[in-house]
Amino acid sequence: MDYAAALLSKLPATSPRRSRHIKQLVETLEAYMPAEDIEQVMKSYEFGALAHHGQTRMSGEPYIYHPVAVAQTLADMHFDGQTITAAILHDVIEDTEFSITEIEEEFDSEIAALVDGVSKLDQMEFTSRAEAQAESFRKMMLAMIEDIRVILVKLADRLHNMETLEAMPREKQARIARETLEIYAPIANRLGINHMKVLLEDLGFRYLYPFRYAVLQNALKRSKGSQRQIVKRISERIMKAMQEEGIDGEVRGREKHLYSIYKKMAGKKRLLSDVVDVYGFRIVVDDVNTCYRLLGIVHGLYKPMPGRFKDNIAIPRINGYQSLHTTLFGPKGLPLEVQIRTTDMDRVAEAGVAAHWQYKAIDKTTATPQVRARDWLARLEEIQRTGTSEEFLESVKVDLFPDKIYVFTPNGDIMPLPKGATVVDFAYAVHTDIGNRCVAAKVDRTLVPLRTTLHNSQTVEIITARGAKPNPNWVSFVTTAKARSAIRQYMKNMRVSESEDLGKRLLDRALKDLKSSLRKVGKIRLREALDELSLEEPADLFGQIGLGERLAPLTARFLIGDKTDDEEPASTSLVIAGTEGMVVRYAKCCHPIPGDNVMGYLSAGRGVVIHRNSCGNLINFRKQPEKWLTVSWETGLDRDFMSQIHVETVNKTGVLAEVAAVIADSDSNIEEVSVLNPNPDVSVMIFLFQVRDRTHLAQIMRNVRKMPNVFRVGRDNT
Cα 474 versus chain centre, distance: 17
HEC states along 367-379?
CHHHHHHHHHHHH
DSSP SS3 for 260: helix
Query: Distances in Å between the alpha carbon of 526 and those of 518, 533, 550?
Result: 8, 10, 16
Question: Of 652, 509, 616, 524, which is closest to residue 569 (Cα–Cα)?
Answer: 509
Half-sphere exposure of residue 372, counting CA atoms within 13 Å on the CB side? 17
Q: Cβ distance 443 to 458 under 8 Å?
A: yes
User: Could you tell me the sign of the dihedral formed by the alpha carbons of 380, 384, 385, 387, in that order?
Assistant: positive
Of 37, 61, 95, 640, which is the active-site residue?
A: 95
Pick the closest to residue 3 from 86, 78, 85, 107 (CA basis).
107
CB atoms within 10 A of CB 680: 7
**CA-CA distance, 265 to 272, in Å (whole number)?**
7
| Angle, vertex CA 191, rays to CA 187 and CA 195, nearest 5 | 85
The angle that helices 343-351 and 194-208 make with each other, rounded to 10 degrees, is 40
Instruction: Give the torsion sign (CA, 118, 124, 129, 132).
Output: negative
141 phi-psi bin (left φ>0, alpha ψ -120 to 50, beta other): alpha
Q: Which helix (H) or strand (E) holds 335?
A: strand 335-342
- For residue 324, give the 3-state DSSP assignment: strand
Contact 648, 683 (CB under 8 A): yes
- Backbone φ and ψ for 605, nearest 5 degrees, come out as 85, -15
Burial 154-167 (b: 16+ CB within 10 A, else e): bbbbbbbbbebbee
Task: Judge whether 350 and 194 are in contact, CB under 8 Å.
Answer: yes
Catalytic: 95?
yes
Q: 630 burial class (0-12, 13-18, 19+ CB within 10 angstroms)?
A: middle
Q: Which of 457, 563, 437, 549 lies closest to 503 in space, CA to CA?
A: 549
Q: Are 17 and 61 in contact (CB under 8 A)?
A: no
Which residue is catalytic, options 94, 528, 562, 665?
94
Residues 6+ apart with CB under 8 A from 441: 423, 426, 427, 447, 448, 450, 452, 460, 461, 462, 463
How many other C-beta atoms are found inside a 10 Å radius of the C-beta of residue 253? 15
DSSP label at residue 14: P
Residues with catalytic roles: 94-95
